[in-house]
Amino acid sequence: MAVRDIIKLPDKRLRLVSEPVKHVDAGVKKLIDDMFETMYKAPGIGLAAIQIGVTKRVVTMDLSKKEDNHEPLVFINPEIVWKSDETAKYEEGCLSIPDYYEEVERPAAVKVKYLDRDGKPAEIEAKGLLATCLQHEIDHINGVLFIDHLSKLKRDRVIKKFAKAAKKVEA
Ligand code: GNR
Ligand code: NI
């Protein structure tokens, strides 16, 4: 297992559309292990493979509160098959956009079809934080970031701030 670097804005790889996993083989299992290690270390409650530069449709998550009581969740090729008309607002953050938090409005509940870590088809109906997090991560594997759900003014401001910071490091 290894902690991998998390890629951050303005890294263009965050805009790539990830590829479906064909077989949940040893390589995918190793990727999942690395994602959990990276996510727990960050710490974050969710991670999409693209955040460590891997263009595979793989998501890890752990919404448990207690540090010594992990509840690891894995979603491979996740796909929203239903979303509620009702929406909910949550303050979101992203490990690829550090130290920026903003309220995002999304469907309050979703039904997601996916493969589990054994490659077995599964389905989950989620509400609350799980619904928000699933939508945040499924966005990632489609090259979408939570700032894309904000006003253009707010989004452009964040993108500019990160572009400027990256230039400073470069100089
Ligand atoms: O750690 C994370 N917290 C979080 C809070 C509210 C909504 C979504 C998230 S996901 C985020 C980790 C991350 O960037 N996943 O892609
Ligand atoms: Ni994120």
* Domain of residue 43, residue span: 12-170
pLDDT for res 149: 98
The CATH code of the domain that includes 164 is 3.90.45.10
Q: Rounded to two decimals, what is the model's pTM?
A: 0.97
Phi/psi of residue 12, each to 5°? -70, -20
Question: Can you tell me the distance from the alpha carbon of 71 to that of 19, in angstroms, rounded to the nearest whole number?
Answer: 26
Residues making up the chain, counted from first to last: 171
Say yes or no to pLDDT of 169 above 90.
no
23 within some domain: yes
Q: Which atom of ligand 1 is nearest to the CA of 94?
A: 14
Residue 2 lies in a domain: no
30 within a domain of the structure (yes/no)? yes
Q: How confident is the model at residue 171 (pLDDT cuts 50, 70, 90)?
A: confident
Return the closest-CA partner of residue 18 out of 75, 77, 81: 77
Residue 3 in domain: no
Pocket of ligand 1 (CB under 6 A): 44-48, 51, 90, 92-96, 132-133, 136-137, 140
pLDDT at 69 over 90: no
Model confidence band, residue 168 (pLDDT cutoffs 50, 70, 90): confident
The mean pLDDT of 148-158, rounded to a whole number, is: 98
Per-residue burial over 18-45, b = 16 or more CB atoms within 10 Å of its CB, e = otherwise: beebeebeeebeebbebbbebbbeeebb
- How many domains is the chain partitioned into structurally? 1
